[in-house]
Structure 1
Amino acid sequence: MDKIIVKARAKVNLSLDVLGTREDGYHEMQMVNHSIELHDTLTFEACDEEVNLTSNIKGIPLDEKNLVIKAMRKLQTYADIDKGIKIHLVKRIPYKAGLAGGSSDAAATLKGLNTLWHLGLTRQELLEIGAAIGADVPYCLMGGTALVEGIGEKIIPLPPIKKLYVVVVKPNVNISTPWAFRALDHHVIQKRPDIPGVIRSLEAEDYTELRQAMGNVFEPLVAAKFLEVNDIKHGLLDHGAAASIMTGSGPTVIGYFPLKAEAWNVWKMFSKKYRMCFLSETY
């Protein structure tokens, strides 16, 4: 095998809570995550010495600032190898959108190179390497529906979410995750998500309870600064979404639809206004 192609799926938060700040400065989190079909594609091709990252998107970093290269370097160090690689990254997941696109690319790199280079590293070893790259990387290595705690390293798989169609809408603004955490540190959280209720409603496929239980503590802060977030959320709900939430530190808003035809109609409407609007489904 000298070539492998790996999908890097976007991550969505069904709920996101920040419980406090630890002594090491990191934030203690509790989240319910799931994957969606929206994905980047990475092609890895073995070569002798060269390390080369290319992409379909102009302007993104192609050096160690890109988590793909960072993940590759971490893997090389861990496995004590020095091999060349050509990587082509096809980006579809929006940048700075709260969808963990960079972390998912890093996770795909660890999985892809573990296979291509015949390293034989265990999942636990990959999770340890991933945790040193970014908080979302361990979850992205696992994927699926999961309760995620700590700083992202504690992952408890949950039963797969029922197939739902999702409309993904990113307004034309970018959110810096450090800014979001700094803002949250100076903000009193008025309402926290009911995460046990979210898990219970998923198991029962009770979308009324899900809508009431889900929440994202970053959402009020981001929506106060960027009013479009609330406009998009209310627009999705008004047009039939069973539930809607801002994901990650924003600004992307997700709407969930049981029927594909409904989701398609809403996607068609929103895509007239928003360039980064996607029709996807749970995975």
Structure 2
Amino acid sequence: MTLTTVDLDFILPLLYSGAMAKRSTCLKIKAPAKVNLFLNVFRKRPDGYHELHSILQMISLYDEITFEPVRRGMTLASLSGDLPTDGRNLIIQAARRLAREAGVNPGIRMTLKKNIPIGAGLGGGSSNAAATLVALNRLWGLGYSRDELARIGQKLGSDVPFFLYGPAAFVAGRGEKVMPCVFEGDRWLVLINPGFEVSTRWVYQHLPVHRLEVVSPMCNPTGLEKSWLTNIPENIKIQNSGKLKVRYDDLCLHNDLECVTEPQYPVVRVMKDCLQSAGSEGVLMSGSGPTVFGVFEKRISAFQAATKLRREHPDWKVWAVKGLRRAPF
């Protein structure tokens, strides 16, 4: 059996053009993290989720997943410590849901190398689930479209549809309504994670009461038609192609969830202050936290800041990453 390692910028055309050699029976995919460049949260929906508006961008911090067809069984192994590898893991959940949806029962052995921290606000679990849907759709010859995979994936996690349409997008609803974005210009990000997890469920449960009464201007969208985009933020423009155009210089970094996470975990404020002192253009917590990021125009500035922060705070996890311009799968 031949193991083929498929690089980021090569995987997409291989997956969907059928160009992968027939002898190649394994896939290795890199699943990226994301950051929320802004996140507005509105009142709770009847299904228990909150309406939200957000711009998300994939970044160059990746988990790696290998998919190897076998005769029978569906297993997951982790190379990264004590991660659950049973039905609690979104990779297993995605594989099972896709097999059930397609009415198939093929064998698959999956191996995860985890680099994205868990419970960090970086969407690692959802990215893993999306990568699994794409890989197994190909390996099992199912032929599902991205829209069909997104329909399956939205039941696994609110960020899964985004990872099927990235590398950047404006999202609404609970995250299932996705409109791809094109960013004008490039930026580098420095991420800091303090080394502990924050429960997304806990953060949403502790939102201030006044947030629960705010009605989203898009609370009843029926799809990605023009009416769905009537009330997008002023700093987002619609191109002739139908995609949204966003300028980094016009972005107002904001996250409604900071008002919950930051008071509970004061280190979030400390990390943001350190990034500002290191010269970032702007700082923000991603998702429900606790990871924060600073925006840098130049690569050298980002790497210098990351080096300085690692030296001064060896207990923190620090990465210098780039916002992706191309979806990796």
Q: TM-score, normalised by structure 1?
A: 0.92
Per the alignment, residue 16 of structure 2 pairs with none
How far apart are residue 42 of structure 1 and its match? 0.7
Flag structure 1 segments of 5+ consecutive residues without an equivalent: none
On the 8 A contact 1:144/1:160 being kept in 2, the answer is: no
Q: Secondary structure at the match of 2:131?
A: helix
Q: Deviations over 1:84-125 (max 9, x none)?
A: 111111111111000000000000000011111111111111
Per the alignment, residue 283 of structure 2 pairs with 244
Larger Rg: 2
Write the mapping of 1:40-119 to structure 2, written as runs, cut at 5 A.
Answer: 40-119=63-142
Pair 1:196-2:196 in alignment: no
Structure 1 CA distance, aligned partners of 2:62 and 2:107? 25
How far apart are residue 54 of structure 1 and its match? 0.9
How far apart are residue 199 of structure 1 and its match? 3.0
Aligned in 2, Cα 1:136/1:264: closer, same or farther, shift over 3 Å? Answer: same
Structure 2 CA distance, aligned partners of 1:218 and 1:82? 41
How far apart are residue 23 of structure 1 and its match? 1.9
Pair 1:11-2:34 in alignment: yes
Structure 2 CA distance, aligned partners of 1:47 and 1:161? 44
Partner of residue 264 from structure 1, selected from 297, 303, 306: 303
Pair 1:277-2:314 in alignment: no
On the 8 A contact 1:195/1:214 being kept in 2, the answer is: no
The list of structure 1 runs, each at least 4 consecutive aligned residues, that deviate by more than 6 angstroms after superposition, is: none
Whose helix fraction is larger, Structure 1's or Structure 2's?
1
How far apart are residue 277 of structure 1 and its match? 1.2
How far apart are residue 173 of structure 1 and its match? 2.6
Q: Secondary structure at the match of 1:41?
A: strand
Structure 2 CA distance, aligned partners of 1:149 and 1:188? 16
Aligned-residue CA RMSD (Å): 2.0
Q: TM-score, normalised by structure 2?
A: 0.79
Flag structure 2 segments of 5+ consecutive residues without an equivalent: 1-23, 213-230, 238-243, 325-329
Structure 1 CA distance, aligned partners of 2:309 and 2:105? 47
Q: Secondary structure at the match of 1:9?
A: strand
| Equivalent position amino acid for 1:49 in 2 | R
Per the alignment, residue 124 of structure 1 pairs with 147
| Equivalent position amino acid for 2:197 in 1 | N
Aligned in 2, Cα 1:206/1:29: closer, same or farther, shift over 3 Å? Answer: closer
| Equivalent position amino acid for 1:165 in 2 | W
On the 8 A contact 1:96/1:174 being kept in 2, the answer is: yes
Per the alignment, residue 267 of structure 2 pairs with 228
How far apart are residue 184 of structure 1 and its match? 0.6
Identity of aligned residues (%): 37
